[in-house]
């Protein structure tokens, strides 16, 4: 009978997860395609795309539009975020990571919709931000919506969000394997079969819809016949090392811009408009900095498309403008700008090799190597970026070359900065995932959210006889002493009261007890248990010293074990 029940339960879960993955793959893919189409339409309409700029016949009006469109786009973005979003900031991959790793709710659907609309306006009006971060969050919204269904499946929210993210990345790059790996590498951070199977189905569904149903074109097409010289692999490693320094500098520049933006003496609503004005002024001389820069990305793989000095200017300008746009409040990601900066830097590295006359295998391999070596440490997804190369180019030699650069870039950037710009940003917000998910959950859980134990309160002016009577009545070996207004004083033990009947109650108060407060985390509470002997620990308001309650040692240990067991169960769940 038990085996039959298990068979029915497993069969139900397989069917439910498969249907959920198919649904989420379709929803996220269609949403991602619509998002891209809207951005392309806006870019053409607002004279941001190179094609529309070339076809426009009025140079003076084009110059005016180059400055005004990003500025007005910034104004609209600021209005959307500040007036209609509860979070007052754009949403993106860090919010998805936080929800999955800490098992917390996402921001409201309205905030997510506003952030997505703001991203469309930002990118469509020429802001130097990316489209893949907002697409990842769109997949997150879809997954979160489906996870509200009562399917009676453990870990449903995390699996559903991973499915939505996998489908979005799969659609964006026509890369289903990379989409599946990205969901595990960046969002889930484990490879349980329970999550692996549905995310694979969702990623494959996104690929079918994008590549077969709608026949979406690939990001770029390249022709590469292989690495001609063995020493070039050492050069790929050097490019990876250089890209690590460039990536760290880029991430620190974004962090500095965030601080600068928050200190500007202008309202947050107008800060994106200021960033848009800066973008427009720079674009008068370097129009390739506008928007996503897809054309510049494609031309970077063509020999002679850019002069070396142009590549230097574009790398510097794109880094600076992306940092300003993100720091000043435009909605968008860093994935697309990282791809462009990296491919331009790779092309620049190849041009330097040509300048010194060193034989090489052509610009393509250096451009792709630079693109992925710079992007991977920024988003914290080395496996994903390697797979994107393979699925985009179907070229094994090109993938191996890029892999060398990616490995060295991640090794160095991790030591210099951290796992990714997402993780460092979360750490700055008090969510440090670098020491593991268990630690992050323990640090996120406040002890005052755990169930309090029963305890005996003793007024500091009470007699010893009455105190002993109350403790015996409550069957407690210790009581907490408070003032008349509820302010915490300390703890007394029953055995001390009985043995020292001649002393005042206040002389018997123990001051060596650990004291927690409303901001104490479970991790901090567990740390204070060392050397503690007693039934419960007091929790006291940090501002006024008022007693909040008492928490039993067993409650702390039970909560700790539950978090650890839940994590192990999720990471090893089959179906």
Same domain? 111 vs 198 = yes
**Whole-number pLDDT of residue 501:** 65
Looking at the structure, tell me whether residues 198 and 240 fall in a common domain: no
**Centroid of chain to Cα 41:** 28
Please tell me whether residues 413 and 457 are part of one structural domain: no
Calpha distance 306→109 (Å, rounded):
43
- At residue 493, the 3 state secondary structure works out as strand
Asked if 206 contacts 28 with a C-beta cutoff of 8 angstroms, the reply is yes
Q: Which of 510, 482, 486, 484 is nearest to 496 (CA)?
A: 510
Name the helix (H) or strand (E) containing 195.
Answer: helix 193-207
**Residue 455: predicted pLDDT:** 81
Residue range of the domain that includes 136: 2-213
Structure tokens at 248: 């760290």
* Same domain membership, residue 415 and residue 449: no
Residue ranges, the chain, pLDDT below 70: 1-2, 500-502, 531, 533
**Residue 227 is assigned to a structural domain of this protein:** no
Contact 124, 46 (CB under 8 A): yes
Using DSSP bridges, classify how beta strands 478-482 and 457-459 pair: parallel, antiparallel or unpaired. parallel
Question: What pLDDT, on a 0 to 100 scale, did the predictor assign at position 65?
Answer: 93
Q: Which of 483, 508, 513 is nearest to 498 (CA)?
A: 508
- Classify residue 512 as exposed, middle or buried by CB count within 10 Å of its CB (0-12, 13-18, 19+): exposed
Using N-to-C axis directions, what is the helix angle for 156-173 and 193-207, rounded to 10°? 30
Closest CA to 153 of 476, 572, 570: 570
Task: Count the neighbouring beta carbons within 10 Å of the beta carbon of residue 339.
Answer: 27
> Domain boundary at 435, 459, 490, which?
435
16 plus 151 within the same structural domain: yes
pLDDT recorded at residue 1: 57
Q: What is the pLDDT of residue 549?
A: 84
Residues 335, 130 contacting (CB under 8 angstroms): yes
For 468, residues 6+ apart whose C-beta sits below 8 A from its C-beta are 494, 497, 498
* Residue 491 Rama label (left phi>0; alpha psi -120 to 50; beta): beta
Q: Is residue 157 part of a domain?
A: yes
| Residue reference for tokens 């330097």 | 352
Output the pLDDT for position 75: 96
Tally of structural domains, the chain: 3
Q: Is residue 253 part of a domain?
A: yes
Q: 470 and 337 in one domain? A: no
Residues 261 and 362 in one domain: yes
Structural domain ending residue among the three candidates 435, 467, 498? 435
């Amino acid at each position: 009978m038990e085996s039959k029940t298990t068979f029915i339960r497993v069969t139900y879960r397989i069917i439910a997860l498969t249907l959920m993955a198919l649904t989420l793959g379709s929803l996220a893919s269609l949403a991602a395609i619509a998002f891209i189409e809207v951005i392309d339409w806006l870019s053409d309409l607002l004279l941001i795309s190179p094609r529309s700029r070339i076809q426009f016949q009025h140079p003076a009006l084009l110059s005016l539009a180059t400055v005004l469109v990003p500025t007005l786009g910034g104004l609209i973005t600021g209005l959307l975020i500040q007036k209609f979003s509860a979070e007052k900031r754009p949403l993106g991959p860090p919010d998805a990571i936080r929800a999955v790793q800490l098992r917390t709710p996402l921001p409201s659907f309205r905030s997510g919709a506003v952030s997505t609309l703001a991203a469309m306006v930002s990118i469509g009006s020429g802001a130097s931000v990316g489209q893949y971060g907002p697409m990842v969050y769109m997949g997150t919204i879809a997954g979160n919506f489906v996870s509200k269904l009562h399917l009676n499946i453990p870990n449903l929210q995390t699996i559903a969000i991973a499915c939505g993210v996998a489908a979005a990345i799969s659609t964006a790059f026509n890369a289903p394997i990379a989409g599946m790996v990205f969901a595990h590498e960046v969002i889930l951070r484990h490879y349980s079969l329970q999550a692996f199977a549905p995310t694979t189905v969702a990623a494959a569904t996104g690929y079918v819809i994008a590549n077969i149903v709608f026949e979406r074109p690939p990001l770029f097409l390249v022709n590469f016949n292989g690495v001609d010289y063995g020493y070039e692999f050492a050069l790929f490693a050097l490019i990876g090392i250089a890209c690590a320094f460039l990536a760290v500098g880029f991430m620190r520049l974004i962090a500095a811009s965030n601080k600068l933006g928050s200190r500007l003496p202008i309202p947050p609503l107008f800060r994106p408009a200021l960033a848009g004005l800066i973008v427009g002024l720079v674009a008068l001389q370097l129009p390739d900095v506008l928007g996503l820069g897809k054309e510049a990305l494609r031309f970077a793989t063509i020999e002679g498309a850019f002069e070396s000095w142009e590549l230097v200017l574009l790398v510097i300008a794109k880094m600076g403008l992306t940092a300003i746009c993100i720091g000043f409040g435009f909605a968008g990601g860093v994935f697309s700008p990282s791809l462009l900066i990296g491919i331009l830097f790779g092309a620049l590295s190849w041009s330097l090799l040509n300048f010194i006359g060193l034989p090489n295998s052509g610009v393509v391999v250096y451009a792709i190597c630079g693109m992925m070596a710079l992007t991977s440490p920024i988003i914290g997804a080395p496996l994903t970026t390697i797979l994107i190369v393979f699925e985009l180019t179907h070229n094994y030699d090109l993938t191996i070359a890029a892999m060398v650069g990616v490995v060295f870039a991640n090794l160095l950037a991790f030591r210099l900065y951290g796992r990714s710009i997402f993780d460092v940003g979360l750490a700055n917000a008090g969510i440090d995932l670098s020491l593991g998910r268990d630690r992050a959950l323990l640090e996120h859980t406040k002890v005052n959210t755990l169930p309090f134990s029963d305890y005996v309160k003793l007024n500091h002016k009470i007699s010893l006889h009455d105190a002993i009577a109350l403790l015996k009545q409550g069957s407690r070996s210790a009581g907490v002493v408070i003032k008349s207004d509820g302010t915490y004083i300390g703890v007394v033990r029953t055995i001390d009261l009985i043995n020292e009947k001649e002393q005042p109650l206040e002389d018997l108060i123990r001051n060596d007890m650990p004291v927690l407060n409303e901001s104490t985390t479970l991790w901090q509470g567990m740390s204070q248990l060392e050397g503690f002997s007693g039934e419960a620990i007091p929790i006291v308001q940090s501002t006024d010293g008022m007693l909040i309650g008492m928490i039993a040692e067993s409650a702390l240990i039970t909560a700790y074990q539950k978090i650890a067991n839940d994590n192990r169960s999720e990471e090893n769940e089959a179906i």
